[in-house]
Chain A
Amino acid sequence: MSMVRAARMEGASLRHGIKELIVRELNLEGRDPSSIEDEAPLFGEGLGLDSLDALQLAMSIEEQFGVRIPEGDDARPIFRSVASLAEYVSQHPGKGG
């Protein structure tokens, strides 16, 4: 999928794309992407991801959606859930191609 197309994905399909990326990039083998809830916390409780996962997710979201994700504390609210990630991606359209 091209970055342009990815960046234009809206709503449910963007959220599903992020879920697929999470399962693929974090090797959540056997996990069905649709089973990840939009609002479920990604870290600690919920999916139980950690700081190394956050770095991998940030890198691969930047790569796939052409957005720039801030570092450190500024990134925390973005990584709260799939919904917050999708919202950030849709509000920060990629630089294209």
Chain B
Amino acid sequence: MHDQRLYVTGVGLVTAVGMTREATWGALVRGERGIRDIDLFETAGQRACSGGMVRGLSLQEALRGKATRSTDAAWSRSSIMALIAAREAMAQARVDPRAQRVGLVVGGTTGGMFETEGRLAELHDDPDSREALLEMLSHPLTSTGDCLSDVIGPFHRTRSLSTACSSGANALVIAATWLLAGALDVVVAGGCDGLCRLTLSGFNALAAIDPEPCRPFDRSRRGLNLGEGAGFLVLERSGDARRRGVEPVAELAGWSVGSEAHHITNPQPSGATAARVIGSALARARLTPAQVDYVNAHGTGTPLNDPMESAALALALGEEIRRIPVSSSKGQIGHTLGAAGAIEAGISALAIARQALVPTVGLVDPDPACPLVHVREHGRPARIRAVVSNSFGFGGMDAAIVLTEPELGPPPEQASRRIVVTGAAALTPRGLVDTEGARSLLDEAPPPKGVLIDIDLASHLDLARARRLDRPARIGAVVVGRALEAANGESPQKTRMGVVLGSAFGSVDASAAFMHRLFEKGPRFASPADFPNLVPSSPVGHVSIYLDIEGPSLATADLSVSGEGACAQAIELVAAGEVDVVVAGALEEASSIVERLLAVLFAREPDGEKLARGEGAGAVVFEAEDVARSRGARIVAEVAELTSWRDDARAGDPLDRLRSVAPPRDPSRALVVVPRRDPGLAALLERSAWTAVARRTCNTGAEHEALGAIAVAAAASELAGGHVKDVLVVGLGKGRGYALRLLAP
């Protein structure tokens, strides 16, 4: 492909200052603030309660009469805002999902926590409330993509991810990798996050909220204000945009993602990782600091963020920082968490299109620790060629995006690398195994007595460093650590190594416990230490800190195929050259809420002794072949093919996607590995070219949503053992599926 520039051809914004792109932009330039007392829910007893609320949201208005398969209850405020913003962006870019191959990437942190809190309040009063239990898991991160697909889809590929407060920026990075790989015509990418009691209480527990409208970069700043909103961008290759006659708003020229591996809530004071990420985003765009005319800062207004970010900008941009105007939009719209990176990338794109700066409202007396060229009070016209937009999340998940005028820099180079597997591990009720042992999970041994992981996790960890790791994070650290040990050879460079962990629902019971404590004792007694562990990206953040992994770390979610989704994400990141090595995995822990929900669903008494769902985790090391060879690692498998699909008649037949996988070279030495017995999957395989191939099912003794990662680990192990040469792993979930083919090297 000769024309590989990535154009932003649509922007959609929903914020506390406007329900559309135009309304938001106008209010930002005029210096208006959307920060006021939050009245979406009871805030009595909260230390501080100002925030950027979006008022007047209505599902019926947002649907505009369109039918949706999702029930009204499946729509969270987050998803409604996402619909409005994504549709606005798609309308501007004149996207037609029936005529184009369109992908969707959604970043977020809380999903529908506001709605879930309502159900938790009912369960607090009546632990057996059937209605409340049935709706408890209605709003995972994936629910936004599923709801949107009905109304503005179909989408050929959908990804739900979280990297805490940089989620929205990471959604754009993933979109960029998809487009450069050429598999899709258009990607709609962004983030959404609604206000909720959990985040307000949690940030208050961390003493991180300013009781007054926030003051980024000001000497007297006392913290952030939460906000809510959604931002979506339409991205496509420049050649496609030109052919369609669609005008670019801006070019997405550079991006970079990295992990501080420092602390679960506090940023690295030196700003070294943020500076590295800003620098490599500019390098990716092949621009110099002299070409940057504006920085849209993360600028939360917390005492720790703003000086760290100022230091990072000085490190990355050198002397030019004395010239480049910097502003934060959070004084006007609040910190919209998982939406922030996308909303602010949208604002940055508009700054280029409109040739105007937006201000830092609330800044009166600049802190000498933040020596920047500030834009005060209101916006103003300016010559803007390139913009850097920063986003930093809990766990030290840093991202920087570079947007430019179209064709400012040279076109990006496409990386296309062969990807191999060098290590694998699984942690199940049958114990901890690695590349050598994981194939035993495909045997037909009698199941273990319990469905829980019963090894002593602590004995595999350095407790002095692991004390903040909750059970999911410990499971993650043990399984990822073992997979990396199995991938022998010289250690990869830690900034070129990443980790992706999938989980379907995140920490359900821990979130419920946090909320019950809140209902019981009031917001003053919300636990500051527990709060950061409730973000979906918390386990992966802990793992990056514990194992000192400094490349991208992100959490993905895809219901019962969360393991397969995480592997797909890792492969895409390595293939695109974002990073050399990514450990992909998934983990699930037992949940009393899920057990009670299953009991209601299947109309039986919950049985404390006999759990219906269990625990498990798998991890697989994917890396670029040349890197594996140069560090002398043993290659156990090659990634030959990866495909995924959504069960949507409008997007084609899943069977066609499975049929696109080449037939086995030698069926007698091939194997199909499936995570669980599934009649639908068996029927699909019967009609594929892999029907005559021996089939094995994961036999871990426990059903859960991470089985796909264990299946991939077991498949790699089979190839490592030399018994087979060609393995297809197929996972099927509700309305979605993945197929990954691995070959012996």
What is A's interface to B at a CB cutoff of 8 Å?
25-30, 50-53, 55-56, 59, 62-63, 71
Other A-B pairs, 5, CB within 8 Å; known A26-B529, A52-B264: A28-B467, A50-B263, A52-B532, A55-B205, A59-B525
Is the CB–CB distance between A55 and B528 below 8 Å?
yes
Q: Does B468 contact A (CB under 8 A)?
A: yes
Given contacts A26-B467, A30-B463, A51-B266, whether A63 and B525 have CB atoms under 8 Å apart is yes
Interface contacts (Cβ under 8 Å), in number, total 42
A-B contact pairs, 7 of them (CB 8 A): A26-B467, A28-B467, A52-B265, A53-B529, A62-B524, A63-B521, A63-B525
Known: A25-B529, A55-B528. A71 touches B263 (CB 8 A): no
Would you give the shortest CB distance from A39 to chain B, in whole angstroms?
Answer: 22
Smallest CB separation, A64 vs chain B (Å): 10
Give A76 to B467 CA distance when docked, in angstroms.
23
Interface string of B527-548 (1 = CB under 8 A from A): 1110010000000000000000
Chain B residues whose C-beta falls within 8 Å of the C-beta of A28 in the assembled complex: 467
B467/A55 in contact, CB under 8 A: no
B205 engages A27 (CB within 8 Å): no
Q: Kindly state the separation between the CA atoms of A29 and B466 in the bound complex, as whole angstroms.
A: 10
B682 beta carbon closer than 8 Å to chain A: no
Report the count of interface residues on B (CB-CB < 8 A). Answer: 19
Chain A neighbourhood of B532, CB < 8 A: 52
Q: How far is the CB of B524 from chain A (nearest CB, A)?
A: 7
Q: Which A residue's beta carbon lies closest to that of B517?
A: A63
Q: Chain A contact residues: over half helix, strand or loop, or mixed?
A: helix
Whether A59 and B265, one on each chain, are in contact in the complex, defined by CB atoms closer than 8 angstroms, is: no
Report the Cα distance A51→B266, complex, angstroms.
Answer: 9
Q: A56 and B463 in contact (CB under 8 A), knowing A50-B266, A62-B524, A71-B207?
A: no
Pick the residue among A29, A59, A62, A71 that contacts B467 (CB under 8 A).
Answer: A29
Q: Are A59 and B527 in contact (CB under 8 A)?
A: yes
Bitwise, B493-536 to A at CB < 8 A (1) or not (0) is 00000000000000000000000000001001111110010000
Point out the residues of chain A lying under 8 angstroms from B205, CB to CB: 55, 59
Q: What A residues does B263 contact at CB under 8 A? A: 50, 52
Quick check: is B627 within 8 A (CB to CB) of the other chain?
Answer: no
Residues on A with beta carbons closer than 8 Å to the beta carbon of B526: 59
CA distance A27 to B527 in the complex (A): 13
With a CB–CB cut-off of 8 A, which chain B residues contact A51?
266
| B314: A residues at CB distance < 8 A | none
B206 close to chain A: CB less than 8 A: yes
Do A27 and B266 touch (CB < 8 A)? no
Kindly state the separation between the CA atoms of A89 and B352 in the bound complex, as whole angstroms. 57
Do the beta carbons of B528 and A29 come within 8 Å of each other? no
Separation of A25 and B468 alpha carbons in the complex (Å): 10
Structural contact, B528 and A56, CB atoms closer than 8 A: yes
- CB atoms of A29 and B463 under 8 A apart: yes
Shortest CB distance B227–A (Å): 23
Complex contacts, B529 vs chain A, CB 8 Å: 25-26, 52-53, 55-56
Residues on B with C-beta less than 8 A from A29 are 458, 463, 467
State A59–B526 Cα separation when bound (angstroms): 8
A71 CB contacts on chain B under 8 angstroms: 207
CA distance A25 to B530 in the complex (A): 10
Known: A27-B468, A52-B264, A52-B265. A59 touches B521 (CB 8 A): no
| A residues in contact with B467, CB < 8 Å | 26-29
Closest CB in chain A relative to B387 CB, distance in Å: 33
Provide the B26-66 mask, 1 if CB < 8 A to any CB of A, else 0. Answer: 00000000000000000000000000000000000000000
| Nearest B-chain residue to A55, judged by Cβ | B528
A52 to B206, Cβ gap below 8 A?
Answer: yes
- Min Cβ gap B85→A in Å is 33
Least CB distance, B304 to chain A, in whole angstroms? 9
Cβ contacts under 8 Å, A62 to chain B: 524-525
State which residues 256-309 of B face A: CB under 8 Å: 263-266
State how many angstroms separate the Cβ of A57 from the closest Cβ of chain B. 9
**Minimum C-beta distance from B592 to chain A (A):** 21
Cα distance, A62 to B524, chains bound together (Å): 9
Query: Contact partner of B206 among A26, A30, A50, A55, CB < 8 A?
Result: A55
Q: How far is the CA of A27 from the CA of B198 in the complex (A)?
A: 23
* Residues of chain B lying within 8 A (CB to CB) of residue A27: 467-468
Closest 5 CB pairs of A and B: A55-B528, A27-B467, A56-B529, A29-B463, A56-B528
A59–B528 alpha-carbon span in the complex (Å): 8
Are A52 and B458 closer than 8 Å at their CB atoms? no
Inter-chain CA distance A25–B206, complex, in Å, is 15
Report the minimum CB–CB distance from A61 to chain B (whole Å). Answer: 11
Which of A30, A53, A55, A63 is within 8 Å of B207, CB to CB? A55
Contacts of A63 in B (CB 8 A): 521, 525
Shortest C-beta distance, B294 to chain A (Å), equals: 32
Residue of B nearest to A53 (CB): B529
Q: Which of B226-266 contact A (CB under 8 A)?
A: 263-266
Kindly state the separation between the CA atoms of A62 and B525 in the bound complex, as whole angstroms. 8
Asked if residues A56 and B266 are in contact (CB atoms below 8 Å), the reply is no
Contact B521 A52 (CB under 8 A): no
Interface string of B449-491 (1 = CB under 8 A from A): 0000000001000010001100000000000000000000000
Q: Which of B525, B526, B529 has the most CB of A within 10 A?
A: B529
- Chain B residues near A56: list those with CB within 8 A: 527-529
Contact with A along B332-374 (1 / 0, CB 8 A): 0000000000000000000000000000000000000000000
Please name all residues of chain B whose beta carbon is closer than 8 Å to the beta carbon of A30 when the two chains form the complex.
463
- Shortest Cβ distance from residue A2 to the other chain B in the assembled complex, whole angstroms: 15
A5 to B207, CA, bound (A): 29
| Chain A: CB-nearest residue to B526 | A59
Q: How far is the CA of A63 from the CA of B525 in the complex (A)?
A: 7
Closest to B463 in A: A29
Most buried by A among B266, B527, B528: B528
CB-nearest residue of chain A to B470: A27
State in angstroms the CA–CA spacing of A29 and B459 once bound together.
12
Q: Which residues of A contact B458 (CB under 8 A)?
A: 29
A40 to nearest B CB, angstroms? 16
Which residue from chain A places its CB closest to the CB of B47 in the assembled complex? A71
CA distance A25 to B525 in the complex (A): 13
User: What's the least CB distance linking B434 to chain A, in Å?
Assistant: 26
Q: In the complex, which residue of chain A has the Cβ closest to the Cβ of B469?
A: A27
Q: In the assembly, what is the distance between CA of A27 and CA of B525, in Å?
A: 18
Q: Which residue of B lies closest to A48 (CB)?
A: B464
Q: How far in angstroms is the closest Cβ of chain B from A30?
A: 6
* A5 CB, nearest partner CB in chain B, Å: 19
Taking CB as reference atom, which chain B residue is nearest A56? B529
Q: How far is the CB of B48 from chain A (nearest CB, A)?
A: 11
* B207: A residues at CB distance < 8 A: 55, 71
Closest residue on chain B to residue A52 by CB atoms: B265
In the complex with contacts A26-B467, A29-B467, A52-B266 CB distance below 8 A: yes
Complex: how many Å from CA A71 to CA B458?
A: 34
Q: Contacts of B265 on A, CB cut-off 8 Å?
A: 52
Complex Cα gap A88–B265 (Å):
28
Interface centre among B265, B467, B525, by most A CB within 10 Å? B467
B528: which A residues are within 8 A, CB to CB?
A: 52, 55-56, 59
- B463: chain A residues at CB < 8 Å are 29-30
| List of B residues within 8 angstroms of A55 by Cβ | 205-207, 528-529
Q: Given the complex, which residues of B lie within 8 Å of A25, measured CB to CB? A: 529
- The complex places the Cα of A80 from the Cα of B528 at a distance, in Å, of 20
Which residues on the B side are within 8 Å of A50 (C-beta)? Answer: 263, 266
Residues of B within 8 A of A52 (CB): 206, 263-266, 468, 528-529, 532
Q: Using a CB-CB cutoff of 8 Å, which residues 196-215 of chain B contact chain A? A: 205-207
